């Protein structure tokens, strides 16, 4: 059995990005149940993200010269990087809802879109935040009308006279029911139902009547004059859709190895509640088995879980957005730029010799204790060769961590800090770390101890 402390820690790592030193200190004053309540309450209070992009009408845009348009696109690209960096900061910010950020990250990987326009990225993020803990059925309806999705999966080109199946296919294969539960004919019929679902210049959804196919469609055994909304509802009526989504949630929040019995129960519950995501998540976090040892310390942190977790432990202030982008690129997870519509492959897929060495050295890089020498691959559009990055520009505030150990001796500090930083049943021995710790004063001792613990492979899991 996990101690109540370790349960709380597990809850915060899986529902968010760990705890800051102060949060960890205070965590023990409350019961696990109160913590669960707390994270849901905080998530409910979080609002939408404001966009700073200036609206421009189509007429205005058309007046721009080629160079001006180019400059505009460049600016857009920079803004998306800024939105990306701000999201990372929110994940680590103690005044934000880490749980909502984590749910949003999950759904961003699920409804994976590559978005190059700042306004569209912001719009999609807000759609995700609105529904992240709401109703999955409503969520799918909303995402099918989301401009980033429509454009990324070519529904803009899906017209009665020349249907484009891209969105219809991925809707079933990746977003809802999964392979094996529909036919190629179902894809064709669904694509017809989504004809005319388009977006206008501003990025709002428009239904283009003249491109819509009003004919009869036969989809998953049902026949009627279906439009896209009907198709979504038919797919969601099927219990296999609940299983497919629960399986993904299980892998992301609980364990890559699935306990089939438990999954079946979760799926049934999710389907019976007509896709109440909040109910499902409350149930998972409140279940005893969620805190079983087999589910703790087994998940390889995604690059953003790792980075935001470090930023939560120390107050890390990146001086440029590019520094955050560098870490994301080197580790293989760039927000608003998933590898493809299937999203990020989690787990062991994060790890190869190159990403692992960056991960193990990440805290050392932030402390400027080790030089980096790493060149990011060129983007396809880029004409220049990238230069190797030597330093990450960031300020680190260690005070919140140091304040916890003003009266502790070496052993107490070690016991406490390793319990705080390492998840799961891994015992790190102080004597193995001793030769690498600074002894000059308490501050340097704690700093070197944290650095060493966070450089261990054990720190890579939660």
Partner 1 sequence: MKRRNFLKSATLASTSLMVPAFLKGYNGNGILKNRTGKNLVIVQLSGGNDGLNTVIPFQNDIYYKNRPTLGIQQNKVLKLNDELGFNPAMEALRSVFDDGKMCILNSVGYPNPDRSHFRSMDIWHTASHSNEYLQTGWIGRYLDNKCQGCEKPYHALEVDDSLSLAMKGIQQSGFAMSNPKALKKATDNRFLRAAAEHEQDKEGSVAYLYKTMINTQSSADYLYDQSKIHQSKISYPATAFAKDLRQIAELITADTDTKIYYVSLSGFDTHAFQKNAQEKLLQKYAEAMAAFIKDLKQNELLDDTLIMTFSEFGRRVKQNASNGTDHGTANNLYLMGGNLQKAGFYNAGPNLSDLDKGDLKYEIDFRKIYATILEDWLDADASSILTGGLGKLSLV
Considering the complex, what minimum distance in angstroms separates the CB of residue 110 from partner 1? 13
The least CB distance from residue 459 to partner 1, in Å, is 10
Q: Closest Cα partner for 437 from 399, 416, 411, 405?
A: 411
φ/ψ of residue 395, rounded to 5: -100, 140
Length of the chain: 462
Which is nearer to partner 1, 89 or 351 (by Cβ)? 351
Q: State the nearest-atom distance from the C-beta of 292 to partner 1, in Å.
A: 13
Q: Cβ(199)–Cβ(150) under 8 Å?
A: yes
Q: Which residues bind partner 1 (CB under 8 A)?
A: 114, 165-166, 169, 174, 297-300, 330, 332, 339-342, 345, 347-349, 351-357, 360-361, 370, 373-378, 380-385, 388, 424, 426, 429, 432, 435-436, 452, 455-458, 460-461
Q: How far is the CB of 385 from partner 1 (least distance, A)?
A: 7
Among residues 38 and 251, whose Cβ is nearest to partner 1? 251
> Whole-number minimum distance, CB 42 to partner 1, in Å?
29
Nearer to partner 1, 33 or 368 (CB): 368
Q: How far is the CB of 346 from partner 1 (least distance, A)?
A: 10
Please provide residue 385's backbone torsions phi and psi, each rounded to the nearest 5 degrees: -85, 140
One-letter-per-residue 3-state SS of 200-254: CCCCCEEECHHHCCCCCEEECCEEECCCHHHHHHHHHHCHHHHHHHHHHHHHHHH
Sign of CA dihedral 280, 285, 286, 289: positive
Residue 274, SS3 per DSSP: coil
* Cβ atoms within 10 Å of 444's Cβ, excluding its own: 12
Beta bridge partners of 316: 396
C-beta closer to partner 1: residue 54 or 373: 373
Q: Which is nearer to partner 1, 46 or 307 (CB)?
A: 307
Nearer to partner 1, 142 or 335 (CB): 335
The dihedral built from the CA positions of residue 359, 363, 367 and 369, taken in this order, carries a sign that is negative
Residue closer to partner 1, measured from CB, 40 or 459: 459
User: Minimal distance in Å, beta carbon 138 to partner 1?
Assistant: 26
């Amino acid at each position: 059995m996990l101690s109540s402390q370790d349960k709380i820690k597990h809850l915060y790592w899986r529902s968010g990005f760990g705890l800051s030193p102060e949060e960890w200190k205070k965590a023990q004053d409350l019961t696990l149940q109160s913590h669960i309540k707390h994270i849901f309450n905080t998530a409910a209070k979080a609002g939408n993200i404001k966009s700073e992009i200036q609206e421009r009408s189509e007429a205005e845009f058309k007046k721009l010269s080629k160079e001006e348009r180019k400059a505009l696109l460049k600016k857009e690209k920079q803004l998306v990087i800024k939105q990306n960096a701000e999201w990372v900061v929110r994940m680590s910010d103690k005044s934000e809802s880490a749980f909502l950020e984590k749910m949003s990250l999950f759904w961003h990987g699920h409804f994976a879109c590559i978005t190059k326009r700042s306004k569209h990225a912001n719009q999609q993020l807000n759609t995700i935040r609105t529904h992240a803990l709401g109703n999955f059925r409503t969520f799918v309806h909303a995402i099918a009308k989301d401009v980033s999705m429509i454009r990324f999966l070519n529904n803009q080109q899906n017209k009665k006279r020349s249907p484009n199946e891209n969105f219809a296919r991925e809707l079933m294969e990746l977003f809802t029911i999964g392979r094996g539960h529909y036919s190629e004919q179902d894809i064709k019929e669904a694509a017809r139902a989504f004809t005319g679902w388009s977006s206008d210049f501003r990025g709002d959804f428009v239904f283009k009547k003249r491109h819509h196919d009003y004919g009869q469609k036969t989809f998953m055994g049902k026949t009627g004059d279906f439009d896209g909304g009907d198709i979504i509802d038919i797919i969601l009526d099927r219990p296999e859709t609940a299983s497919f989504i629960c399986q993904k949630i299980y892998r992301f929040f609980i364990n890559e190895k699935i306990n089939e019995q438990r999954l079946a129960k979760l799926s049934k519950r999710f389907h019976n509640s007509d896709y109440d995501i909040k109910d499902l998540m409350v149930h998972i976090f409140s279940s005893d088995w969620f805190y079983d040892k087999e589910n703790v310390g087994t998940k390889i942190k995604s690059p953003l879980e790792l980075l935001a977790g470090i930023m939560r432990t120390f107050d890390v202030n990146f001086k440029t957005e590019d520094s955050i982008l560098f870490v994301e690129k080197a580790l293989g997870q760039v927000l608003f730029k998933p590898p493809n519509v299937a999203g990020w492959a989690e787990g062991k897929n994060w790890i190869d010799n190159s990403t692992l060495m960056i991960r193990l050295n990440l805290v050392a890089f932030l402390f400027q204790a080790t030089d980096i020498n790493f060149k990011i691959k060129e983007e396809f559009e880029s004409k220049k060769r990238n230069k190797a990055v030597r330093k990450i520009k960031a300020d680190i505030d260690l005070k919140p961590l140091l304040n916890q150990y003003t009266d502790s001796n070496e052993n107490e500090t070690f016991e406490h800090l390793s319990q705080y930083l390492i998840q799961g049943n891994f015992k790190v021995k102080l004597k193995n770390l001793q030769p690498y710790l600074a002894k000059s004063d308490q501050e340097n001792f704690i700093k070197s101890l944290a650095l060493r613990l966070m450089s261990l492979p054990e720190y890579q899991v939660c």
